[in-house]
């Protein structure tokens, strides 16, 4: 029963889904604070400074470039952290697991040494009789 549960967890996208939901939410909050506290003021400095830095007003409509850039950076940083911290190690783990299974199957399929030796002796005896 435990092995079945283990296979269910390791198969498919269960781990990927858990990582995307839980870790994504946590890192999004962390990165949002980082970009709001550091990146947004830096963008504001380069786009004029002050309270309205990075905003453009056209016919009474405000376009907030700073907020848009902040959201894009938050998304990119969050995805990069999730990929390099969780997805890459999980993919390497799955490759090792698959390689281990392939090696075990090859060992099971390989002929044992004593059988191979007996087969070789048989072939040599057969060749001597034919001479």
Q: Which residues contact 81 (CB under 8 A, 6 or more apart)?
A: 27, 31
Predicted confidence (pLDDT) at residue 11 exceeds the cutoff of 70: no
The tally of domains found in the chain comes to 1
Cα 74 to Cα 68: distance, rounded to the nearest angstrom: 10
Residue the block writes with tokens 């409509």: 61
Q: What CATH number is given to the structural domain containing 10?
A: 1.10.1200.120
Q: What is the pLDDT of residues 63-83, one digit of tens each?
A: 877 778 877 887 888 788 878
Confidence at residue 28, expressed as pLDDT on a 0 to 100 scale:
75
Distance between CA atoms of residues 31 and 119, nearest Å: 66
Backbone angles phi, psi at 65, to 5 degrees: -65, -40
How does residue 9 score in pLDDT terms, banded at 50, 70 and 90? Answer: low
CA–CA dist 34, 74 (Å, integer): 8
The whole domain housing 67 covers: 2-130
* C-alpha to C-alpha distances, 76 to 21, 80, 92, nearest whole angstrom: 16, 6, 23
Cβ atoms 19, 82 nearer than 8 A: yes
Give pTM, 2 decimals.
Answer: 0.50
């Amino acid at each position: 029963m435990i092995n079945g549960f283990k296979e269910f967890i390791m198969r498919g996208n269960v781990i990927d889904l858990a990582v995307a939901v839980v870790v994504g939410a946590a890192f999004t909050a962390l990165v949002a604070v980082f970009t709001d506290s550091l990146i947004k003021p830096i963008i504001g400095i380069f786009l004029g400074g002050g309270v309205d830095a990075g905003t453009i007003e056209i016919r009474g409509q405000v376009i907030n470039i700073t907020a848009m850039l902040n959201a894009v950076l938050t998304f990119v940083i969050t995805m990069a952290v999730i990929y390099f911290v969780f997805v890459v190690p999980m993919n390497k783990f799955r490759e090792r697991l698959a390689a281990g299974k392939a090696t075990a199957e090859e060992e099971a399929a390989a002929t044992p040494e004593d059988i191979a030796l007996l087969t070789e002796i048989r072939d040599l005896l057969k060749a001597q009789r034919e001479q």
